[in-house]
Each structure stands twice: as structure tokens, then as C-alpha cells.
């Protein structure tokens, strides 16, 4: 009875413990570097909740983080590690912006088309590592890392040569493909919050539904759990690997479309990675690869990132403190063996 | 422009670009041969570059002049070893997922380094160091016709150290008892344990050596190529080194070859504009060449790469 209870609680308990320790050590680092942790963290919290503008910006920051997190989580569930979310997001961003600029259609067709273009671009970028993994057993981690760089250079090349307007960027997308919402903006004191947030939340539901309520989802999870048993049970492991990477890339591509159609309405030549794809790894890990977990973790990281700006301007603590805290949270989530060991020790003493 | 002139342009640049990758890749080799995946090489390079630059600036301030970067290398190596303990402790002792732990290490290294830079210098990047590693002509060897000009003129000592180190590591890993133990805990930890080899200890040593070498790689990059440190100084070189290691089939000389190859590809994308044949090719193809070639190589051009068998698996005593 007791065991059943603790196994229900632990998926929530471990991340909470990890977050607690991450924040605690963040405070110690602030103290050691001559900042007041209370001033720092209260500036951080005010930077998240102090104003409807900040809340709007947090929700906006969450949007691509949710989709990147879902992409990583989906691949994880099927036994794959997709480090290529960053690249898939970049190509998705470009594809959606391209469709947004090139066509002039009624919004009801144009917007889904642009988002779909992002999804397809991301999916194609995921297809390559998926095929290589299934066909040649090439480790997807290395291929996806390489695909990130290829995405970055190719996208920059395309923008420079075909889509450039003065100022190292593409032109702005047509309003019919825009996710921007004057309603949400006025509601949040003119933050850049856009309708993409609703899409991201819907995507969480899609992930949950596909993985847990469909036969294909069962198959994908089964392959992730034990390839050999799945093969023996008559499942086509190779097809499932490819499909998993394609769907994962699709989520990431939509994440890029959110940036392109929602936040920025254009794409700039990029000097480096956006970082959103890599943060997606953290989001998925903290969210225990579940839809609701990803949503909550994206909320935490999105809030931390927006709050960090206020922390730097109000309390003088560099924004990178938040990156350190995020790293420590991942570290503690990954090391939950320690927490399990302590809990099992405590239980033994109970008996 | 004749062929030799082109070579004289490309080869020194290739060796120069490859040096940080060589150090880092053979560092990763120690870790992965012991059975611990090290995706945190990137973060370890960041720490090396950061400490290398900060120590050089500090030592210059103390008036040590040209010796500063060399002493700074030592600081970087020590910092790399200490930092790699994060990964070692999490993935070996706490049995954390090694890839996840490596990812955490990358985040932590970059966050911490930039955080400290902002704290120390009140801005996003450090000043430029005055004493970079200087270029030399190797005495005697640089006088050899053709070869001397290509390989031994106007080059960095660190590049030669890197190449030499690959051979030393090759000897250590394949021809010493230590190397045998290291490989055995990466191939079959339980058998190694039965033979009285301390699996945990060997893996710790493997990861710590990867920290030392990767930090050296980062410091070499900072003190020969970039000259200062900022958040974007190390941007993917650690992952490139990891690719070189896999490309080189977890063999020191293979990693050396792969790193030199990546160096060549990178140098072509830099000096390509000056070479007649390559001028007309859009630069993007040269930029993505190393990545595309790595993928092609992994897909079968170099044959199946066999990773150490126990890689990625935490060792549980008594489990099979």
C-alpha cells in the first residue's frame, strides 16, 4: 500500500526536490559572488509575476519551450535522444516564415499552411537521423548534432541569398499568417504574447493522446522500452524509429513556427543557436517526459528566463545565474538515485 | 596560384584548427573507453577556455609576460579535472543517465563561466590577452624543402604537442597495463571486477583525464585562436571533437586523423575564398562540409564503428 503511494508521488517529488536544491545552490553561488540571494530572488519573482506584462512575456517564452520539450520527450519515450531539436526548430522557423511571406491567402488557410510548413520542415530534418538510425544503426545523438550545424549554416545562407531585406533579416510575414493577437497583447500590457501559446498547450494534449491512447503510440513506447521484445511481438522496429524522429522533429518545427509567426514575424541571420532546442532537453527531463510535466517545466524555465532579466537590472545578478540553476536542476533530476537511496534508507529505519 | 601554394595555405591552417579538437577528442577517448559517454566535452572546453583566458590575464597583470599562457594551461587542466568530477560523480557514483549528466555539465559550464566573467569584468566578455601562444619555425625541420614549409613553418607549438599526445595516448591505451584496465572496464566491467580491477576507480580516472584534455583543448582554442573569452567562444567544438572520436572509431590515431580532417575542412571554409577552384562554390557548402562528411562517414563509408561495449551503462556490482 505504502509502496503504491510512493511510486505515484515520486514523479512529482523528485523534480520538486531537484528544483529546491537547484535554487538553494543558486543562492549559495549568489552569496559567494557577493550578491544578496534574497534581493536576487525577489527581483526574479517580481520579474515573473510583478506585472501582467511579465506574465505575458513568460507565457510567450514558454511557447517554443513547450514544443521543444515535447519534441525531446516524444523521442525519449521511444528510446531515442533527439539533440537535434535546435536544428529542427531553425528549419521550421524558416519554412513557416517563408510561407508567411510568399503567399497571400485568407488567414484560415494561410496560418495552418505556415504552421504546417514549419512542422514538415522539422519533420524532414528529423527524418534523416531517423533513417540513418534505422538503416545503418548510426547513433542519432551524433547525427542530430551535425544536423543542427547544417541547419544553422543552410538557413543563414538561404536568408542571405534569397530572403534578405536591409538589416540581416527576412521581410515581415503577411498579417494573414500571423499569430499575433492584439487582444492578448492588450490583456498583458503589450507583451508579445500570441495565440501560439494555445497551440503549444494543444500540442501537449496531442502528445498525450498519441502516446497513451492510440495503438501506434503503444507501439512507439514499446519499441522505446524494449526493442527486442517489440520485434518479437511482430512490431516493425525500424519504421517506428523513423516515425518517432519524424514526429519529434515535427513538434520542434512547430516550435520554430511559433517564433516565426508569433513572436518575431520574421527571421534574422543567426550568429549562433537560439538555445531553445537545448533548453527543450532540460524541459523534457524535468517534466519526466510527460505532457503535463513538460508544460509545468516549460513554465518554470520560461519564468526563470524572463525573471532573470529583471534580476540583472534590479539586483545586478547576471542572467546566467538562471542557466546555472537550470543545469543544477537537470543534474539533480538525473541523479535521483541519490534521493531514492536516501528515501529507501529512511523507510528502512521506519520499519 | 600553383598547387604547392594552395597546400601552403591549407595545411598549416588545418593543423592549427585541428589542435583543440585533437586534445578534446583524445580526452573523450579516455572517458568513453572506460565506459562513460562524455557529451560534456563541450562544457569542459568552455571551462578550459575560460580559465585559460582569466589566468593568462591575471598572470599578465602580475608581470609574467610570455610565460603567462603556458602557466594558464596548467590552471585550465586542473579546473577541467575538478569540473569533470561533476560528471564522474553523477554518472558513476549516482548512476545518473550519462548523456543527461553530460548535458547538465554543458549548461553548467557555460552558465558559470559567463556568470563569473560578468562578475569579474562587469561585462559580457573578457579583455584580449596580450601574450598569445606564438608561432615558431621548427629549427632544422623547417629548412626541408617543400615539407618544411608546409608542416614546420610558422606553426604553433601546441599543435605539435597535440599530435604527439595522440601518439602517446595510443601507446598508453593499447600497450600499457593501465590502458588494458581502462579498456576492460569499458568492454566488460564485471569481468574486469572479477579480475580485481576497481571499475569505479578506473572510470573516475577516465572521466578526469577527459576533463584534463578537454580543458586543455579549450584553453588552446582560446589562447591561439580567439584571444579572449565570451559566451560564444566555444560554439560546438566539443561536439565536433566528440564526432571526431566516433569518426575515428574510439582509436587515438583515428581520432587524430578525424580531427585533422575536420581541421582541413574548417580551414578550407576559411581560406577557400583565396583558392581559385573553390572560389565559385558558395561558402555554405564549405561550411557544412565537415558535418555532412561526418554523417556520410558514419552511415557506412568508414564501416561499422564499434563503440566500447559497456558504454553508457552504470556498473552495478553483481549484476549481469
Cα separation, A93 vs A96, in Å, equals: 5
- Chain B residue with Cα closest to A318: B115
Regarding predicted confidence, which is higher, A207 or B296? A207
Strands (E), A166-235: 169-170
B311 contact partners, CB below 8 Å, separation of at least 6: B32, B35, B36, B37, B186
- Give me the pLDDT at residue B76, please: 96
Q: Inter-chain contact A327–B111, Cβ cutoff 8 Å?
A: yes
Regarding predicted confidence, which is higher, A236 or A167? A236
As a whole number of Å, the end-to-end CA separation of chain B is 62
- What band does B318 get if pLDDT is binned at 50, 70 and 90? low
Q: What's the rounded mean pLDDT across residues A252-274?
A: 91
**pLDDT of B262 higher than 60:** yes
Cα separation, B91 vs B312, in Å, equals: 9
Cα separation, A6 vs A84, in Å, equals: 35
- Give me the pLDDT at residue A184, please: 87
**Ordered DSSP codes for A93-119:** HHHHHHHHHH----HHHHHHHHHHHHH
- Give me the pLDDT at residue A190, please: 84
Q: What's the rounded mean pLDDT across residues A250-273?
A: 92
Task: Give the whole-number percent of chain B exceeding pLDDT 90.
Answer: 44
pLDDT digits (tens, 9 = 90+) for B105-151: 998 999 999 999 999 998 888 989 888 887 777 777 777 777 777 77
| C-alpha distances out from residue A275 to A85, A224, A278, Å | 10, 26, 5
Contact between B108 and B40 under an 8 Å Cβ cutoff? The reply is: no
As a whole number of Å, the end-to-end CA separation of chain A is 14
Angle between helices A237-257 and A107-136 (to 10 degrees): 140
Contact between B30 and B172 under an 8 Å Cβ cutoff? The reply is: no
Residue numbers of B between 214 and 243 with CB closer than 8 Å to A: 232, 235-236, 239, 242-243
**pLDDT of B264 higher than 90:** no
Tell me how close the Cα of B48 comes to any Cα of chain A, in angstroms: 17
- Give me the pLDDT at residue B5, please: 75
Q: What's the rounded mean pLDDT across residues A37-53?
A: 91
Coil, helix or strand for A185?
Answer: helix
Asked if A85 reaches chain B (Cβ–Cβ under 8 Å), the answer is no
CB atoms inside a 10 Å sphere around CB A138:
21
Cα separation, B139 vs B152, in Å, equals: 8
Cα A240 to the chain's mean position, in Å? Answer: 22
Task: Give the whole-number percent of chain A exceeding pLDDT 90.
Answer: 52
- What band does B210 get if pLDDT is binned at 50, 70 and 90? very high
| C-alpha distances out from residue A259 to A195, A268, B26, Å | 11, 11, 39
Q: What's the rounded mean pLDDT across residues B155-184?
A: 93
Cα separation, B255 vs B250, in Å, equals: 7
ipTM higher than threshold 0.90: no
- Give me the pLDDT at residue A2, please: 44
Contact between B222 and B19 under an 8 Å Cβ cutoff? The reply is: no
Q: Per residue, what are the HEC states of B166-234?
A: HHHHHHHHHHCHHHHHHHHHHHCHHHHHHCCCCHHHHHHHHHHHHHHHHHHHHHHHHHHHHCCCCCCCC
pLDDT digits (tens, 9 = 90+) for A284-321: 988 888 999 999 999 999 999 999 999 999 998 999 99
Query: Which pairs from A237-244 meet CB under 8 Å and 24+ separation?
Result: A237/A134, A238/A134, A238/A135, A239/A134, A240/A78, A241/A78, A241/A80, A241/A130, A241/A133, A241/A134, A242/A127, A242/A130, A242/A131, A242/A133, A242/A134, A243/A130, A243/A216, A244/A74, A244/A75, A244/A78, A244/A80, A244/A130, A244/A220
Q: And the C-alpha cell for A104?
A: 497571400
Place of cell 538561404: A158
Closest CA to A288 of A230, A342, A333: A333
- Chain A residue with Cα closest to B112: A324
- Give me the pLDDT at residue A4, please: 47
Cα separation, A29 vs B113, in Å, equals: 12
pLDDT digits (tens, 9 = 90+) for A54-103: 999 999 999 999 999 999 999 998 889 898 999 999 999 999 999 999 99
Closest CA to B209 of B112, B320, B77: B77
Asked if B114 reaches chain A (Cβ–Cβ under 8 Å), the answer is yes
- Give me the pLDDT at residue A348, please: 67
Q: Where are the alpha helices (DSSP H) in B34-156?
A: 41-61, 68-88, 98-121, 147-151
Cα separation, A153 vs A146, in Å, equals: 11
The strand pairing partners of B136, in sequence order, are B155
Give the one of A142, A272, A323 whose C-beta lies nearest to B298's C-beta: A142
**pLDDT of A5 higher than 60:** no
Cα B187 to the chain's mean position, in Å? Answer: 23
Between A260-264, B203-207, B243-247, the lowest mean confidence (pLDDT) is in B243-247
A260 contact partners, CB below 8 Å, separation of at least 6: A92, A93, A94, A96, A97, A100, A114, A118, A173, A266, A267
Q: Identify all chain A residues contacting B99, using CB atoms and an 8 Å cutoff.
A: 81, 141
Contact between B167 and B26 under an 8 Å Cβ cutoff? The reply is: no
Closest CA to B114 of A249, A239, A320: A320
The strand pairing partners of B156, in sequence order, are B135
For A34, left (φ over 0), alpha (ψ -120 to 50), or beta? Answer: left
Give the one of B39, B108, B295 whose C-beta lies nearest to A146's C-beta: B295
**pLDDT of A1 higher than 50:** no
Contact between A91 and A250 under an 8 Å Cβ cutoff? The reply is: no
Cα separation, A126 vs A141, in Å, equals: 12
- Give me the pLDDT at residue B1, please: 59
A286 contact partners, CB below 8 Å, separation of at least 6: A15, A18, A19, A293, A297, A300, A301, A329, A330, A333
Regarding predicted confidence, which is higher, A173 or A14? A173
- Give me the pLDDT at residue B305, please: 58
Residue numbers of B between 291 and 320 with CB closer than 8 Å to A: 291-292, 294-295, 298-300, 304, 307
- Give me the pLDDT at residue A50, please: 87
The strand pairing partners of A268, in sequence order, are A169
Cα separation, A244 vs A126, in Å, equals: 9
Asked if B66 reaches chain A (Cβ–Cβ under 8 Å), the answer is no
**pLDDT of B279 higher than 80:** no
Q: Identify all chain A residues contacting B39, using CB atoms and an 8 Å cutoff.
A: 141
**Ordered DSSP codes for A305-342:** HHHHHHHHHHH---THHHHHHHHHHHHHHHTHHHHHHH
Backbone angles phi, psi at B105, to 5 degrees: -60, -40
Asked if B288 reaches chain A (Cβ–Cβ under 8 Å), the answer is yes
**pLDDT of A343 higher than 80:** no
- Give me the pLDDT at residue B303, please: 54
Residue numbers of A between 270 and 329 with CB closer than 8 Å to B: 271-273, 278, 281-282, 285, 318, 320-324, 326-328
Cα separation, A59 vs A255, in Å, equals: 14
Amino acid at each position: 500500500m505504502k509502496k503504491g503511494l510512493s511510486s505515484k508521488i515520486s514523479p512529482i517529488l523528485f523534480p520538486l526536490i531537484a528544483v529546491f536544491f537547484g535554487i538553494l545552490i543558486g543562492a549559495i553561488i549568489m552569496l559567494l559572488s557577493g550578491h544578496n540571494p534574497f534581493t536576487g530572488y525577489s527581483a526574479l519573482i517580481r520579474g515573473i509575476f510583478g506585472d501582467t506584462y511579465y506574465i505575458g512575456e513568460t507565457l510567450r517564452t514558454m511557447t517554443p519551450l513547450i514544443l521543444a520539450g515535447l519534441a525531446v520527450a516524444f523521442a525519449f519515450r521511444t528510446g531515442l535522444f533527439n539533440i537535434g531539436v535546435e536544428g529542427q526548430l531553425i528549419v521550421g522557423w524558416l519554412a513557416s516564415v517563408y510561407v508567411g511571406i510568399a503567399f497571400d491567402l485568407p488567414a484560415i488557410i494561410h496560418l495552418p499552411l505556415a504552421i504546417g510548413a514549419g512542422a514538415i520542415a522539422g519533420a524532414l530534418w528529423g527524418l534523416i537521423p531517423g533513417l540513418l538510425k534505422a538503416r545503418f544503426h548510426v547513433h542519432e545523438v551524433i547525427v542530430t548534432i551535425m544536423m543542427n550545424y547544417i541547419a544553422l549554416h543552410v538557413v543563414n545562407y538561404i536568408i542571405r541569398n534569397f530572403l534578405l531585406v536591409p538589416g540581416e533579416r527576412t521581410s515581415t510575414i503577411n498579417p494573414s499568417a500571423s499569430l499575433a493577437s492584439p487582444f492578448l497583447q492588450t490583456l498583458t500590457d503589450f507583451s508579445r504574447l500570441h495565440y501560439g501559446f494555445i497551440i503549444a498547450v494543444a500540442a501537449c494534449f496531442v502528445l498525450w493522446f498519441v502516446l497513451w491512447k492510440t495503438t501506434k503510440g503503444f507501439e512507439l513506447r514499446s519499441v522505446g522500452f524494449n526493442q527486442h521484445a517489440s520485434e518479437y511481438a511482430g512490431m516493425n522496429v525500424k519504421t517506428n524509429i523513423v516515425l518517432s524522429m519524424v514526429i519529434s522533429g515535427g513538434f520542434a518545427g512547430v516550435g520554430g513556427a511559433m517564433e516565426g509567426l508569433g513572436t518575431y514575424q520574421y527571421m534574422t541571420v543567426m550568429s549562433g543557436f537560439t538555445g531553445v532546442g537545448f533548453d527543450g532537453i532540460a524541459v523534457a527531463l524535468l517534466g519526466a517526459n510527460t505532457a503535463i510535466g513538460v508544460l509545468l517545466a516549460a513554465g518554470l524555465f520560461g519564468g526563470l528566463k524572463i525573471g532573470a532579466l529583471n534580476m540583472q537590472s534590479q539586483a545586478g545578478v547576471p542572467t546566467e545565474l538562471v542557466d546555472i540553476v537550470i543545469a543544477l536542476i537537470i543534474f539533480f533530476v538525473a541523479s535521483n538515485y541519490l534521493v531514492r537511496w536516501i528515501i529507501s534508507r529512511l523507510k528502512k529505519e521506519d520499519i | 596560384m600553383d598547387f604547392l601554394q594552395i597546400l601552403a595555405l591549407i595545411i598549416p591552417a588545418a593543423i592549427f584548427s585541428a589542435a583543440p579538437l585533437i586534445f578534446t577528442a583524445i580526452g573523450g577517448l579516455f572517458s568513453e573507453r572506460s565506459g562513460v559517454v562524455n557529451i560534456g566535452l563541450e562544457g569542459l572546453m568552455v571551462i578550459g577556455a575560460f580559465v585559460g583566458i582569466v589566468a593568462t590575464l591575471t598572470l599578465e597583470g602580475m608581470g609574467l609576460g610570455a610565460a603567462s599562457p603556458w602557466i594558464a594551461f596548467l590552471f585550465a587542466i586542473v579546473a577541467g579535472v575538478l569540473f569533470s568530477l561533476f560528471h564522474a560523480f553523477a554518472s558513476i557514483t549516482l548512476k545518473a543517465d550519462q548523456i543527461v549528466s553530460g548535458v547538465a555539465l554543458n549548461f553548467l559550464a557555460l552558465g558559470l563561466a559567463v556568470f563569473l566573467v560578468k562578475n569579474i569584468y562587469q561585462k559580457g566578455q573578457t579583455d584580449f590577452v596580450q601574450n598569445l601562444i606564438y608561432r615558431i619555425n621548427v629549427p632544422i625541420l623547417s629548412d626541408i624543402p617543400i615539407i618544411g614549409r608546409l608542416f614546420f613553418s610558422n606553426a604553433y607549438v601546441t599543435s605539435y604537442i597535440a599530435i604527439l599526445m595522440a601518439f602517446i595516448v595510443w601507446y598508453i591505451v593499447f600497450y600499457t597495463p593501465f590502458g588494458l584496465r581502462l579498456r576492460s572496464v569499458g568492454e566488460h566491467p564485471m569481468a574486469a571486477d572479477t579480475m580485481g580491477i576497481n571499475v569505479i576507480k578506473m572510470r573516475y580516472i577516465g572521466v578526469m583525464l577527459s576533463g584534463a584534455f578537454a580543458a586543455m583543448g579549450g584553453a588552446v582554442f582560446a589562447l591561439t585562436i580567439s584571444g579572449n573569452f565570451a559566451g560564444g567562444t566555444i560554439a560546438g567544438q566539443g561536439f565536433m571533437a566528440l564526432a571526431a572520436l566516433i569518426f575515428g572509431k574510439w582509436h587515438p590515431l583515428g581520432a587524430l586523423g578525424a580531427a585533422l580532417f575536420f581541421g582541413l575542412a574548417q580551414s578550407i571554409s576559411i581560406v577557400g575564398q583565396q583558392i581559385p577552384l573553390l572560389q565559385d562554390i558558395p561558402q555554405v557548402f564549405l561550411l557544412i562540409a565537415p558535418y555532412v562528411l561526418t554523417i556520410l562517414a558514419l552511415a557506412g563509408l568508414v564501416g561499422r564503428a564499434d563503440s566500447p561495449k559497456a558504454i553508457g551503462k552504470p556498473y552495478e556490482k553483481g549484476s549481469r
